[in-house]
Structure 1
Amino acid sequence: MSSIKEFDHLRIQLKDIKWATNNFGIDNYIGGGGFGKVYKGELVISEKLIMVAVKRLDKALGQGPPEFWKEIMMLTRYKHENLVLLLGFCDENGEKILVYEYLPRKSLDFYLGDTNLSWNQRLQICIGAARGLQYLHDPEGTQQRVLHRDIKSANILLDEQWKAKVSDFGLSKFGPANQQFTFLVSNTVGTFGYCDPLYMETGYLTKESDVYSLGVVLFEVLCGRFCIENYDDFRRFLPTLAQKCYKEMKLDTIVSKSLRGQISPNCLYTFSTVAYRCLQRDHKERPSVSDIVKELEIALEYQVSSFIFLHMAKYLKISIRVPLRHSFC
């Protein structure tokens, strides 16, 4: 691990964090996860008073100093517009605290079932998350790629403009970036439902393990539901349900009802096909994140084109037929 001293410029005193969060007051509490509780507050950073998110380690939840320092090391070395920004940390009086930019819309999991979140917004969020993961897998100027190991909708944060930012790097691993396939023997970690089945069975971690998890998120966004629901049959597990419906050309039965009139057929085909490929059992059959980004951008182009055609037809009062690559309906 890098020398801890190289991060000294990011240190923030505990008294300042307590003042900013009203001593971790309940009114400042905004959420929590596997690392601990998260609070909002105002801190002076670079001589400016700004809103921040403060994540306080709770060792009872299973994470500890290794994850704390991994997060600091990761977010000081890897910076991208689609990765959350670390502003500082505190390691004082037994407390281990991470300070991030404040993202007012919290995380994607809060909006999966939100009928007000349009398909265009959802698609842009997916593209942003994929671009963040693409940067981790193919970083510029380094021979080390980052395997996140816990891609899920709760770890995709959203700013005021709905820009997606990948977060939570405490479980991540480094691997060589100059190889087509990266294999690391690893103790299995991650979140059930999102975790690559092959990784869970063998302990072999690859960059394609992150791809599987991203595919689960893509189907969550499309279907407007979490990857695991309270059913007693195969519908409980979204990856299994989505693969079955895709192969039977019945995706329209699981697409969120609020989205069914919004998605163009070509966009649906392109989006669902790349999501389906992410879930393939054989990691060699899964697309790279670069390919995922390209396909999602193509899906967006189809969506925008369809919108333009429909509005032209309405304005000119004529019927315009949008060419279909495929239909699930």
Structure 2
Amino acid sequence: MFLNCVGMCCSKPTTNTTSSQRQFPTLIEELCHQFSLTDLRKATNNFDQKRVIGSGLFSEVYKGCLQHDGASDYTVAIKRFDYQGWAAFNKEIELLCQLRHPRCVSLIGFSNHENEKILVYEYMSNGSLDKHLQEGQLSWKKRLEICIGVARGLHYLHTGAKRSIFHCILGPGTVLLDDQMEPKLAGFGASEQGSRFMSKQKQINVDRVLGCWGYTATDYLMDGIITAKWDVFSFGFLLLEVVCRRMFYLITLTKKKCLENPVE
């Protein structure tokens, strides 16, 4: 299926810019199809708010409909960043072009307009895991299968790519489910790359708070050092929430509310 990054995205942009003017390495341009802003406006009915299927801190995700080489329409997820999210746009494009695993969401292409930064992904028809945990309708078997799938995706990030990749914001909101309810990791805008696998890991320090409330160990937030243990802690908390369904989701909201409105 052409939704995989390498399988479908083989067309180079038709601009006349020189290599020194390009904002992305040639490899990324070769792996990812560059869509025109006109095509993406058409696919989302000019970014109609009725098409919004998700949102992040600096982005909105739209359900879009595109054509490929005259074939029938196909559904995609179109993530439009605001200017504060342009760094996340660059990071996601760099990382997702490297990732090829059934438990990681596939990047189809991008649009790098002067005032618009947009990524196009495969469409995950069943949305995010947190929605299903709130509804409480997942069977025990399906919850177990989802956890195993997330673990495989996380293991691939840590050991399967040329360089270790730390997701950093793993949680039910960044686990998406396809039409077969198979999980895929998404939301790589805050991820960090470590050293090459099997080499001595360098220490990664960050000067900003990453992670989701309730899913990040307090000591990691305090010292600002990222390792694979960061994701492992998040995965452990995700497991508790999946096993207990909605209980830990409510605890997380309560914890966040208390941090925002401390008792005097």
Alignment correspondent of 2:173: 154
Matched letter for residue 43 of structure 1? L
Match of 1:30 among 53, 61, 70: 53
Alignment correspondent of 1:220: 241
Any conservation in 1 of the 2:241–2:249 contact (CA below 8 Å)?
no
Identity %: 38
Tell me the number of residue pairs that the alignment of Structure 1 and Structure 2 aligns. 229
The question of 1:57 aligning with 2:76 is answered no
1:27, distance to aligned residue in structure 2 (A): 2.5
Alignment correspondent of 2:96: 75
1:52, distance to aligned residue in structure 2 (A): 0.2
1:146, distance to aligned residue in structure 2 (A): 0.3
Match of 1:89 among 110, 115, 126: 110
Structure-1 separation of matches of 2:214 and 2:151 = 19
Q: Deviations over 1:280-317 (max 9, x none)?
A: xxxxxxxxxxxxxxxxxxxxxxxxxxxxxxxxxxxxxx
Structure-2 separation of matches of 1:6 and 1:181 = 26
Q: How does 1:178-189 map to 2 (within 5 A)?
A: 178-179=198-199, 183-187=203-207, 188-189=209-210
Q: Greater relative contact order (Cα 8 A, min sep 6): structure 1 or 2?
A: 2
Any conservation in 2 of the 1:194–1:227 contact (CA below 8 Å)?
no
Structure-2 separation of matches of 1:203 and 1:8 = 33
Q: TM-score, with normalisation over the residues of structure 2? A: 0.80
Any conservation in 1 of the 2:194–2:201 contact (CA below 8 Å)?
no
Alignment correspondent of 2:262: none
The question of 1:204 aligning with 2:225 is answered yes
Matched letter for residue 38 of structure 2? K
Q: How does 1:255-270 map to 2 (within 5 A)?
A: none
Q: Deviations over 1:41-67 (max 9, x none)?
A: 1112465431000011023xxx42221
Q: SS of 1:104's equivalent?
A: coil
**Any stretches of 5+ residues in structure 2 without a counterpart?**
1-22, 257-264
Structure-1 separation of matches of 2:138 and 2:58 = 28
Structure-1 separation of matches of 2:230 and 2:157 = 13
The question of 1:164 aligning with 2:183 is answered yes
Q: SS of 1:38's equivalent?
A: strand
Structure-1 separation of matches of 2:75 and 2:137 = 26
Alignment correspondent of 1:278: none
Distance 1:93 1:185, change over 3 A: closer
RMSD over equivalenced CA pairs, Å: 2.3
1:29, distance to aligned residue in structure 2 (A): 1.5
Q: Deviations over 1:68-106 (max 9, x none)?
A: 111011111111000000001111140011100001101
Q: How does 1:1-329 map to 2 (within 5 A)?
A: 3-9=24-30, 10-45=33-68, 48=71, 49-59=73-83, 63-140=84-161, 142=162, 144-176=163-195, 177-179=197-199, 183-187=203-207, 188-225=209-246, 227=248, 229=250, 236=254
Structure-2 separation of matches of 1:28 and 1:101 = 15
**Any stretches of 5+ residues in structure 1 without a counterpart?**
239-329
Any conservation in 2 of the 1:150–1:190 contact (CA below 8 Å)?
yes
Structure-2 separation of matches of 1:136 and 1:70 = 15
